[in-house]
Structure 1
């Protein structure tokens, strides 16, 4: 029996009742069920297939810039950097768009899959829903709010996506610029864990160790991890893709801004870049407030964990991983980067706590 196909050509396969029985309780909150997209087995709410077909057909513009990365890899940080560089490089305080939250002025085109969750109410995404009503009059929410707002945005558009490269329009790297952000997978696990625990429509109840192993097995939304990163890594010499890491950004943000400036062909001055570095620093972004509606998260957990901008450090996994879990994940990393040329030696740092 043939499996349904996306416009991208990928086959889709609904999880069986037995697979659903074994799935994380968090994933069972989606009304449409769960689907894997083959051959890599990307795991999403089944409704995602509708949005992926729409994304595949999205009309691309030559000045579009996409930020792509696995969740909690530093994409929000990069999103603010790119939006400011392209739409307000002088940091004009009177810029009207700057009055909007980041997730409204720079759309996450992979967000709409959350709309299938029966715990998500309009009050949780108030600013996004208001913008949809304003700029997408007559359009259907079920066709995706974020992606339809993105379609209506003026150029140059800065869009984020947690979908892997291959699920986007086949001409993405021919027509647009893509900045891919990767991060030490052990830090991704820790950051993603705290994020998921605080989401109102998720409220993950398992331990960090359980969550890390679900990511490792590819049994959580947006997984598997390695095909996501390696697809982009294999395109690192494509002139329309800039591959960077959260760690590179933390170690030398000015160097990264100079590289991105050149990649985008912006010719911003050293002084402009310096001000952008300050404006998009962890402390500055945290002071300005959340880039997404606070109601999207459980208030008790959000306050306890420090909000969207929790720590902003590298190596936080050292404060959370047991020696046994660390050994297991290091082997998983070695197995997946072998013979790829991808240098993530930082993943094997010593296990002393990071302040």
Structure 2
């Protein structure tokens, strides 16, 4: 494929792996990039900016193709050293950065001055317009179906994608609700110039998570995710398990629950432990509705080639139905 996204990123196919915390490591990012997509490292997966630098070097040893680094800037009890993280990214010569959250304008300027292509993830058109005004090169628009943080406006991709395409001049990447070539074909038909997938890439051979986590995604249906922390206006879509059920139970009490009450349940290190140990009952596991569309655990190369073939078939079939 050849469009603005593939040209900006220097990739063969406009398929981007989301920079998921604890999952976006070198082995997965390199596998996606080697397969023709864009692999992405999760900056906050690493304990220090210096460790991120080593992970970037490790990824370069596994692929000579472009890859990116995700930096998500959300309110936390102990904010990461963002300034140093961006310094390391620039020092390492990374050419693509995916940002999300409340990113200061000066950070965008710093990245642009370094010649870095910026993909910014948004959950609403108004935030996408603000990001475009600040000079991002690509907007990744994240629909209500997505894993992680879908925002608070609850607009699904079928509406959000074309709304963003109509409003923006920069290319739009569709994120959330996409697991195969059918979803990709739909996104392209709606005007997007690429897709971003997280949950689907967790269920691949190269994803650095326990086999039981991948099996849980295979077993899940489309209604086996839950939105937690809605009462705190920090909505998060996660897999249905005893931890997410307990969070919802606490949120449903009269008066709700403070973050301090929920914190032991939603703690990131606890979620990391669940991903690594395979104990899927003892931590929050991010997952999108597309879990209901996952029925195998292919390699990244198999997944991407299959997606492209299916996407082409679906677009051709749709065109045949419409006729000349």
TM-score with structure 2 setting the length: 0.28
Q: Which has the larger radius of gyration?
A: 1
**Higher strand fraction: Structure 1 or Structure 2?**
2
Q: Which has the higher contact order (CA 8 A, sep 6+)?
A: 1
